[in-house]
Amino acid sequence: MRKPIIAGNWKMNNTAASGVALIEELKPLVRNVFCDVVVCVPAILIPAISEAVKGSNIKLGAQNMHWAKKGAYTGEISADMLKEYGVEYVIIGHSERRTYFGETDETVNKRTLAVLAEGMTPIVCVGETLEQRINGETEAVLSRQLSLGLAGIDRIKKVIIAYEPAWAIGTGKTATDSQANQAIGFIRKKIAELFSPELAEMVRIQYGGSMNSKNCKGLMAQSQIDGGLIGGASLKAADFAKIVNFDK
């Protein structure tokens, strides 16, 4: 039995003030839930949100991390910087980073290995573009992203995968329940091939892409889907809380 995990990805939204207000509103709404609850916030908000979530069941996540311990990497953030504030999860390889900031399968792999080595949990994002889906390349793209991105990992059980088809992100176009379940089933099959069938059954795989308070029940009812990575709908406490309470 895989424990569901619902994570908010705030992307480049909120300030410390509005973020803390959002967490305060969220706390009572998500108190008694069965799933893991995570908020992945912009780096500069981490100190404030770290304070705000103290004593609650909301866990803190970052949106990126560099693989080096420290050094001349202007604009990057290290594991020690995140751990100092109790960050437990790090999103790696989001499609927006792949598209706009030159993230590759190789850098995804380096970051993922570093997050694991530092004792945190990577949320590794994979997914195809609209063009790739139309051309029937979805499985080939997912295979490549997984085999390169997860190369050399010895703790696959700890890794969370987020299947985020780029065409469904921020577009209001959600993958249908069965499209999402099918792609995630394929990802699990690929993990079985790369690691083992037993380990593949333990890995939690989220869906992300216009998931909201209305479509979350259908998606979460699918056999292969273990959670959600939520963008837009994580910016409103009531909406995010409804997703976290999907089983009620």
Interface residues with ligand 13P (CB under 6 A)? 9, 94, 164, 169-170, 208-211, 229-233
Residue pair 138/132 in contact by the 8 Å Cβ criterion: yes
- Minimum distance of ligand 13P from residue 76's CB (angstroms): 20
Token pair of 102 as six digits: 């030159």
Nearer to ligand 13P, 150 or 209 (CB): 209
Reply yes or no on whether 164 is catalytic: yes
- Minimum distance of ligand 13P from residue 90's CB (angstroms): 13
Please state, in angstroms and rounded to a whole number, the distance separating the CA atoms of residues 113 and 204.
Answer: 17
Nearer to ligand 13P, 93 or 200 (CB): 93
DSSP state of 48: H
Place of tokens 């895989």: 2
- Minimum distance of ligand 13P from residue 179's CB (angstroms): 15
- Minimum distance of ligand 13P from residue 164's CB (angstroms): 5
Please state, in angstroms and rounded to a whole number, the distance separating the CA atoms of residues 28 and 33.
Answer: 11
Residue pair 35/2 in contact by the 8 Å Cβ criterion: no
94, 96, 103, 128: the catalytic one is 94
Cβ contacts of residue 140 below 8 Å, gap of 6+? none
25, 76, 164, 198: the catalytic one is 164
Nearer to ligand 13P, 108 or 195 (CB): 108
Nearer to ligand 13P, 195 or 212 (CB): 212
Reply yes or no on whether 96 is catalytic: no
Q: Residue 31: phi, psi to the nearest 5?
A: -60, -50
State the sign of the Cα–Cα–Cα–Cα dihedral 88, 128, 149, 3.
positive
DSSP element (H, E) containing 39? strand 36-40
As annotated, the active-site residues are 94, 164
